[in-house]
Amino acid sequence: MEKILNVKELLGNLTRGLFIERPNRFVGLVSVDRKIFKAHISDTGRLKELLVSEARTLLAENPGGKLDYKLIAVEKDNEWVFLNTSLHSKIAEEIIRKGFLGFIPSKIEKEVRWGKSRIDFRVNSNFYIEIKGCNLSESGICLFPDAPTERGRKHLVELIELKQRGFRTAVMFLAFRNCSCFKPNKERDPLFSEVFEQALKEGIEFFGFKLGFDPESGWIYLKEKLKICNFSK
């Protein structure tokens, strides 16, 4: 396994707690030393199979914020599932920088404007990459999205447009679950699944990575590459 990013170096020591409930998309109630606190949830997906009552959580202090903590990870099936999407960009950047896309880049630009949107990365001036996090696993298969995502569909359409203009384009999925392969979640968002299949046919590249999180050391590890499952409309 390859070390990618140390969360503790960025967020400080982590506090253990128990999840209670989720009043809204951005707020979770957690118990720490038998006291109730509010924690910010950066992942706006449904997360219903993860954020269950009494689930063990890892929290970072949130100095200057409106809420007491930031929700960093939750334990599921004896593994820590990393939920802090605000660090996805840093994780992906390290994966790119370390050469896991097959080359060592000479230039990495972040949040590059295209039309009315921004693409997560432009590498070596001609390779556009969009990043997605995947925390839903069913029967050993990683699925995205876990809730309908108009924004996700829009990003794929933009990658297709860039590809048609002669640029190299890719979508990168960061999976924090123990799964054998990835496929789009047709049941939750059939439109995304349709556009994803179209993107592959247009030549948009797929990069998937299985990642793990060690709460003791704070390291996020790259376990292995994640392939696409066989799927169809």
pTM: 0.94
**If we measure between CA atoms, which residue out of 216, 181, 210, 173 comes closest to residue 73?**
216
- Band the pLDDT of 228: cuts 50, 70, 90: very high
* pLDDT value, residue 232: 57
Residue in 218, 208, 180 with CA at minimum distance from that of residue 82: 218
The residue-averaged pLDDT of 126-142 equals: 95
Q: What percent of the chain has pLDDT over 70?
A: 99
Spatial distance between the Cα atoms of 139 and 130, rounded to a whole number of angstroms: 26
Class of domain 11-82: mainly beta
DSSP 199-227: HHHHT-EEEEEEEEE-TTT-EEEEEEEEE
The two domains 11-82 and 86-228 share their CATH topology (first three levels equal)? no
At 37-88, the pLDDT tens digits run 999 999 988 999 999 999 999 999 999 889 999 999 999 999 999 999 999 9
Amino acid at 132: K
Q: Give 46's strand partners.
A: none
Q: pLDDT digit string (tens) for 149-205?
A: 999 999 999 999 999 999 999 999 999 999 999 999 999 999 999 999 999 999 999
Q: What pLDDT does 23 receive?
A: 96
* Whole-number pLDDT of residue 217: 96
CATH class of 86-228: alpha beta
Selected residue with higher pLDDT from 231 and 140: 140
What's the average model confidence in pLDDT over 117-129? 96
What is d(CA 150, CA 91) in angstroms, rounded to the nearest whole number? 24
Helix, coil or strand: residue 190: helix
**SS3 (DSSP) at 198:** helix
Q: For position 175, what pLDDT does the model report?
A: 96
| Sign of CA pseudo-dihedral 32, 34, 37, 43 | positive
Q: Residue 176 class from Cβ within 10 Å (0-12 exposed, 13-18 middle, 19+ buried)?
A: buried
Domain ranges within the chain, ordered by starting residue: 11-82, 86-228
- pLDDT score recorded for residue 101: 97
